Amino acid sequence: MERRTDLALEARELFGEDIKGVKFEESEKEDIKVSRLKITSDKASAKLGKEKGTYVTLEMPPLSDNYKTPDEKLEVIAQEIKHLIPVNGLVMIAGLGNTEITPDALGPKSASKIIATRHIKGEVAKATGLDKLRPVAVVATGVTGKTGIETGEYLYSLIKKIKPNALIAIDALASRRLSRLGCTIQISDTGISPGAGVGNNRTKLSQETLGIPVIGIGVPTVVDASTLALDLFDTEDVRFSEQLKSMVNPNGRQMVVTPKEIDLLINRASELIALAINYALHSDLNLSDLMSLMY
C-alpha cells in the first residue's frame, strides 16, 4: 500500500537518499532547516511521484507552541519565495481550500491577509504613499462542491483576463509524519494540486495547465491514517498492509489525523505565510509597515 505524502522531501526519504536525477542539499538559517530538492529527470519524477522542478522544505519549531514575532523566520521564507517568482509584474495569489474544514482552511486564511494592490494606481497610489508597491491580486477560490466551478477553470479565466506574470497558490498538504505537522513549509515551482491536504485532489495547477509560472506554498496539516499506521508498524507485508488499511479506513472512508490544536496552528501558519509573501513582493517595506497594511 502506498504511503501518502505531499512533501517531496518525504518521498525522497521513502526511496533512499541516493536517487539518480535528484539533486539535494541542506542548510540551516535562523533555526530553520532548509532542504532544497531538485528533480531533473523523468525517471526520478516517476519514481518519487513528484513533478520535475525545485522543492524547498523549511522545517522549524512548531507554530502552535513556540511562536513569537516571526522576524527571524520571515526573511528566510520570503527569500525562498523571491527566488521562484518573476522580478517584476503583476502576481496573483490564490488561497485554495475550505474555510469550514479547519485543516483545509490554510489557503483562504492566508489569502485574507495578503496586501492586494492591483487596484491602487495613479494619483491614488501617490496620495497614499503606495506608488512603489508591486501590483498584486488576491482570490480565495472556494471549493467545487459549493461553487460548481473547478479551481483550475476559475483561475484560468482570471489569468486570461488580468494577465499576471505568475501565480502563487497556497494550500494545506498531507505529511507522512506527525512530527512535521504545523512546523514545515514546502515551496515549489511545480504548481500544486487543490485539496491535496484532505485527500480531494483536483486538476493540478501548473504552468502547463494555466500558462504562467505557478509557485505552490503549503503546510502539512494532516497525516493519512493508513500511512501513519504503516509507518508505526514499519511493515512491507502486502497482505498485512491491506488488512491495516481496511481497519483504519472502515467502509472505505478515508481517515486523516490532525493535531487537536489545529485552529491555532492554521491561524499562525496563515499569518506567517501571508507575512512572508507580502515581504517577498514588497521588500522595501519593513515588518511594522506590512503589519499596518495587513490589519
Least confident of 54-68, 81-95, 189-203, 279-293: 189-203
Does any domain span residue 196?
yes
Domain coverage including residue 94:
8-283
CB 49 within 8 A of CB 38: no
How would residue 175 be classed by pLDDT, with cut points 50, 70 and 90? very high
Structure confidence at residue 146 (pLDDT): 86
Structure confidence at residue 90 (pLDDT): 96
Domain count, the chain: 1
DSSP string, 240-251: HHHHHHHHHSGG
pLDDT in tens, 135-152: 999 999 988 888 899 999
pTM of the model: 0.89
Q: Distance between CA atoms of 53 and 45, rounded to whole angstroms?
A: 9
Does any domain span residue 3?
no
Does any domain span residue 51?
yes
Q: Distance between CA atoms of 288 and 272, rounded to whole angstroms?
A: 14
CB 138 within 8 A of CB 277: no
Structure confidence at residue 71 (pLDDT): 67
Q: What's the whole-number mean pLDDT along residues 103-116?
A: 95
Q: Which residues contact 23 (CB under 8 A, 6 or more apart)?
A: 37, 38, 40
Does any domain span residue 293?
no
Does any domain span residue 41?
yes
Structure confidence at residue 110 (pLDDT): 97
Q: Distance between CA atoms of 150 and 156, rounded to whole angstroms?
A: 10
DSSP string, 116-185: --TT--HHHHHHHT-TTSPPEEEEEEE-HHHHSS-HHHHHHHHHHHH--SEEEEEEEEEES-GGGTTSEE
18 or 129, greater pLDDT: 18
Dihedral (C-alpha) 72, 271, 28, 191: value to the nearest 10 degrees? -140
pLDDT in tens, 8-55: 999 898 887 678 899 999 999 878 999 999 999 999 999 998 999 999
Does any domain span residue 248?
yes
For the chain, give the mean pLDDT: 86
CATH number at residue 104: 3.40.50.1450
Least confident of 49-53, 145-149, 159-163, 193-197: 193-197
Does any domain span residue 294?
no
Work out the angle at residue 168's Cα, subtended by the Cα atoms of residues 159 and 188, and round it to the nearest 5 degrees: 130
Does any domain span residue 1?
no
- Residue 87 gets which letter from DSSP? S
The answer, yes or no, to whether residue 111 has pLDDT greater than 90, is yes
